[in-house]
């Protein structure tokens, strides 16, 4: 690996971007119903752990993915109930979810697998690599696009599906209405609460897939805290992409590329710590490009007029 930019870099990028993209899509659909989901980090972590657990219990990688999805959906119900029914501060709940995820996964790691720090089973079946016929033979493009785990392709497909859903269907239209002006939507008979629950569950599914890709996609292993802030990077990708699925793809690719690039740089005699810093720094710089005055909006909503 003596070259900075080559096909395998972009190949890695697509693999690395997948969990971020999936989580960011989850964040986007929550944002669209008015819920700022800071708990993506925790949801993905639970997904990563349950994917390994599912694989261990069921011995099959596909069932493991299903298991992960179910687990994260159940976990996300907690977020949904406390934020929607109890009207708690969505940010505090999100932070709590992250704590809960960290605590639960660490505890279960000890309690179920009796290890500290990480669990690795070399006999466990990871996600397969799919070689796509025809495309794999195209020079350059084939090397980049072909040979990924199915979840990678699913992520991009999910983005397209979400774009169509939100902007072409009636159901997606009403979902956006529920988020933009819940009072008006409710008065029209649109079931805002039900839609919000649906969105949170959907983000649960997406984060479950994201976690599965993390723990089963390259090396089948669960490490404590393995999300390492990716959930927050995904949140930034959501904001940068304006909760628009295609926009989210673009911003996620940016961060995925940075992540892959930083790993590549490690081979070039730069200390690991600085290359590892790169994704976080890039995220900060990216945030420079959209101004966030949400504290004012929240204050306005909370203290609204005397009428």
Partner 1 sequence: MTLLLEMKNITKKYGDFTANHNINFDVRKGEIHALVGENGAGKTTLMRMLYGMEEPTSGSIMINGKEVHFHDPSEAIRQGIGMVHQHFMLFPSFTLAENIVIGGEPKRSGLFDRKAAADKVNELGQMYGMPVDPWRKAGDCPLGVQQRTEILKVLYQGADVIILDEPTGVLTPSEVKELLQSIKRLAAQGKSFILITHKLHEVMEAADRITVLRDGVITGHMESNTTDEEQISRLMVGRDLIPMSRVANEPGASVMHVQNVTLAGAKGAKPLLDNVTLTVRQGEIVGIAGISGNGQSELLQVISGLVQPDSGIVELNGKDVTGDSVRAIREQGMAHIPEDRYMWGASREATVLDNGLMGHQHQYKKGGLIQSHKLRKVVSGWVERFAIKTGSLDTQAQFLSGGNLQKLIAAREFAQNKPFLIAAEPTRGVDVGAMETIHGELLAKCKAGDGILLVSSELTEILKLSDRVLVMYEGAIAGELSAAEATEEQISLLMAGGKRQL
Partner 2 sequence: MTRLKRNLFALLQPIIAVIIGLLAGAIAIVLLGDSVIDTYAEMWNGAFGSFYFLTNTLTRATPIILTGLGVALAFRAGFFNMGSTGQMVLGGLAAAITALYLPGPGWMVLVVSLVVGMAIGGLWSLFAGYMDAKFGINLLISTLLLNYIASLFAGYMVAFPLKDQSGSAAMAQTPMIDKSIWLPKLFSGMSLHAGFILAIVAAIALYIFIQKSVSGYEIRMLGNNPFFAAYGGVKRGRMMVVAMLTSGALAGLAGAGEVLGTQHRYLDGALASADYGWSGIMATLLASSNPLGTAVAGILLAALQTGAMGVERNTNVPLEVASVIQAVLTLFVSARFGYAFLKRRKEKK
Which residues contact partner 2 by CB under 8 A? Answer: 38, 78, 82-83, 85-89, 91-93, 95-97, 99-104, 106-107, 109-111, 228-229, 232-233, 235-236, 239, 271, 273-274, 276-277, 280-281, 283-284, 287-288, 290-296, 299-300, 302-303
In whole angstroms, the minimum distance from the beta carbon of 182 to partner 1 comes to 11
Binders of partner 1 in range 131-170 (CB under 8 A): 168-170
Q: Which of 73, 101, 177, 200 binds partner 1 (CB under 8 A)?
A: 177
Tokens matching residue 89: 């501060």
Interface of this chain with partner 1, residues 278 to 307, rule: CB under 8 A: 300, 302-307
Q: Of 276, 231, 289, whose CA–CA distance to 43 is shortest? A: 231
Alpha-carbon radius of gyration of the chain: 20
188 binds partner 1 (CB under 8 A): yes
| C-beta of residue 72 within 8 angstroms of C-beta of residue 43 | yes
In the complex, the smallest distance separating the C-beta of residue 306 from partner 1, rounded to whole angstroms, is 5
- Determine the interface stretch with partner 1 among 131-139, 174-182, 223-231, 252-260 (rule: CB under 8 A): 174-182
Half-sphere exposure in the Cβ direction for 236 (13 Å, CA): 22
The crossing angle, in degrees rounded to 10, of helices 272-287 and 230-240 is: 30
Instruction: Summarize as ranges the residues that interact with partner 1 (CB under 8 A).
Output: 168-170, 173-174, 176-177, 180-181, 183-184, 187-190, 300, 302-307
């Amino acid at each position: 690996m003596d070259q900075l930019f080559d096909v395998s870099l972009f190949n890695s990028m697509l693999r690395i971007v997948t969990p971020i993209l999936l989580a960011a899509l989850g964040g986007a659909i929550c944002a669209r119903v008015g819920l700022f989901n800071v708990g993506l980090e925790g949801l993905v972590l639970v997904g990563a752990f349950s994917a390994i657990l599912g694989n261990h219990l069921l011995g099959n990688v596909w069932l493991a993915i299903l298991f992960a999805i179910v687990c994260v959906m159940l976990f996300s119900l907690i977020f949904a109930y406390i934020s929607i029914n109890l009207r708690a501060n969505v940010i505090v709940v999100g932070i709590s979810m992250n704590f809960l995820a960290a605590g639960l996964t660490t505890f279960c790691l000890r309690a179920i697998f009796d290890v500290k720090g990480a669990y690795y089973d070399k006999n466990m079946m990871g996600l397969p690599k799919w070689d796509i016929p025809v495309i794999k033979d195209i020079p350059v493009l084939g090397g980049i696009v072909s040979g990924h785990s199915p979840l990678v392709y699913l992520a991009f497909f999910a983005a397209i599906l979400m774009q169509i859903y939100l902007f072409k269907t009636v159901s997606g239209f009403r979902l956006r209405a529920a988020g933009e002006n819940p009072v008006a939507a409710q008065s029209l008979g649109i079931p805002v609460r039900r839609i919000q629950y649906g969105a949170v569950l959907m983000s649960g599914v997406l984060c479950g897939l994201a976690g599965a890709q993390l723990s089963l996609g390259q090396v089948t292993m669960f490490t404590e805290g393995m999300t390492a802030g990716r959930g927050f990077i995904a949140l930034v990708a959501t904001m940068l992409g304006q909760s628009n699925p295609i926009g989210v793809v673009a911003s996620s690719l940016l961060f995925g590329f940075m992540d892959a690039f930083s790993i590549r740089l490690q081979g070039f005699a730069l200390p690991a710590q600085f290359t590892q810093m790169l994704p976080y720094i890039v995220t900060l710089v990216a945030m420079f490009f959209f101004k966030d005055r949400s504290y004012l909006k929240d204050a306005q909503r909370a203290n609204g007029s005397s009428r």
